[in-house]
Structure 1
Amino acid sequence: METALYLIPCPMGETPNENVLPSYNLEIVRNIRHFIVESRKSAVRFLISLDKSFPIDDCTFTELSEHTDEKADLSKILLPLEKGESMGVISDAGCPCIGDPGSRAVEIAQKKNLRVVPLVGPNSMIMALMASGFNGQNFAFNGYLPVKNGEREARLKQLENKVYKENQTQLFIETPYRNQKMFEAILKTCRPETKLCIASGITTSEEFIKTKTIAAWKKEKALPFEKVPTIFLLFK
Structure 2
Amino acid sequence: MTQPSKTSLSDAVGQPAAPRLGRLFLVPAPLDHGCAEPTRLEDSLPSGTLAAAAQITHWICENARSARAYLKRISAIVPLAAPLQAQHITELPRLAHKKGDHSGAAGAEYDAAGLLEAARAGADMGLLSEAGMPGIADPGSAVVRAAHRLGLPVIPLVGPVSPVLALAASGLNGQNFAFIGYLPQNPDERVQRIRALEAYAIKTGQTQLFIETPYRNRALLQALVQTLAPQTLLAVAWGVTLPGGRIISQPVSAWRTMAIDAVAAEWPAVFAIGR
**Taking structure 1 as the reference length, what is the TM-score of the superposition?**
0.94
**Counterpart secondary structure, 1:76:** helix
Q: In the TM superposition, what whole-angstrom CA distance separates every residue of 1:126-164 from its partner, at most 9, and x where no partner exists?
A: 111111011110000000111111111111111101111
Identify the match of residue 165 of structure 1 among 203, 225, 232: 203
Q: Distance in 2 between matches of 1:26 and 1:75?
A: 26
* Map 1:101-116 → 2, pairs under 5 A: 101-116=139-154
Give the equivalent residue in structure 2 for 1:196: 234
Give the equivalent residue in structure 2 for 1:66: 97
Q: Which runs of 5+ in 1 are unaligned?
A: none
Give the equivalent residue in structure 1 for 2:40: 16
Q: Distance in 2 between matches of 1:73 and 1:96?
A: 17
Give the equivalent residue in structure 2 for 1:30: 54
The one-letter code matched in structure 2 to 1:10 is A
Please give the root-mean-square deviation of Cα atoms over the aligned residues, in Å: 1.7
The one-letter code matched in structure 1 to 2:170 is S
Deviation at 1:60? 1.4
C-alpha contact 2:68 2:84 (8 A) present in aligned 1: yes
**Counterpart secondary structure, 1:94:** coil
Deviation at 1:27? 2.0
Identify the match of residue 263 of structure 2 among 214, 224, 230: 224
Q: Distance in 1 between matches of 2:268 and 2:100?
A: 25
The one-letter code matched in structure 1 to 2:262 is L
Deviation at 1:73? 5.2
Q: Work out which of the two has the higher radius of gyration on C-alpha atoms and give 1 or 2.
A: 2
Deviation at 1:224? 3.3
Question: Which deviates further from its counterpart, 109-118 or 215-224?
Answer: 215-224
Give the equivalent residue in structure 2 for 1:178: 216
* Map 1:8-157 → 2, pairs under 5 A: 8-13=27-32, 14-52=38-76, 54=80, 55-64=83-92, 66-67=97-98, 74-157=112-195
Deviation at 1:75? 2.8
**Counterpart secondary structure, 1:143:** strand
Q: Distance in 2 between matches of 1:175 and 1:117?
A: 29
Q: Percent identity?
A: 39
Deviation at 1:206? 2.0
Deviation at 1:26? 2.3
The one-letter code matched in structure 2 to 1:196 is L
Q: Distance in 1 between matches of 2:236 and 2:139?
A: 24
Q: Which runs of 5+ in 2 are unaligned?
A: 1-20, 33-37, 102-108
Deviation at 1:179? 0.3
C-alpha contact 1:179 1:227 (8 A) present in aligned 2: no
C-alpha contact 1:36 1:63 (8 A) present in aligned 2: yes
**Are 2:23 and 1:4 aligned?**
yes
C-alpha contact 1:20 1:122 (8 A) present in aligned 2: yes
Q: Distance in 1 between matches of 2:183 and 2:131?
A: 20
The one-letter code matched in structure 2 to 1:80 is A
Question: Which deviates further from its counterpart, 161-170 or 44-53?
Answer: 44-53
Q: Distance in 1 between matches of 2:145 and 2:68?
A: 24
Deviation at 1:200? 0.6
